[in-house]
Amino acid sequence: MNIVGFWACGVLVIPFGIMGILFAIFKEKAAKFVSGFNSFSKEEQALYDKAYISRDIRNQCFIWSVIMLIGAILSYFLTPYMAIAAYIIWLFLFFKEVHLDNHKAFEKYLLK
């Protein structure tokens, strides 16, 4: 049995899960570890809802972990090509959230 697809997805389940747990535990304190947000000055960071940022990152990490877990299970029991499908779904979700402009990336988190 070929388990390359299983390991290709399975290896990412734990890191994504751990990141999700850390963002869940540290809540708004973990927002400073978000790429792009940590480049803002302290005054600028105060304009954003850090709890909302952490909640979003936590949810993204858990969703990514579940996608990879499903990909690992399906590639183990069905076909290793299910890992490719899992990576395509993950890449789509990942790049949907990537912005080149930090201010554009975090505008939905601005405090009103």
pLDDT along the chain (112 residues), means of 10: 88 97 96 91 94 96 98 94 96 92 90 85
3-class state of residue 1 by DSSP: coil
Q: Determine contact, residues 32/102, Cβ cutoff 8 Å.
A: no
Question: Which region holds residue 27: left if phi is over 0, alpha if psi is between -120 and 50, else beta?
Answer: left
How high is the pLDDT of residue 99?
A: 85
The pTM of this model reads 0.90
How high is the pLDDT of residue 101?
A: 87
Cα(76)–Cα(16) distance, integer angstroms: 20
How high is the pLDDT of residue 98?
A: 86
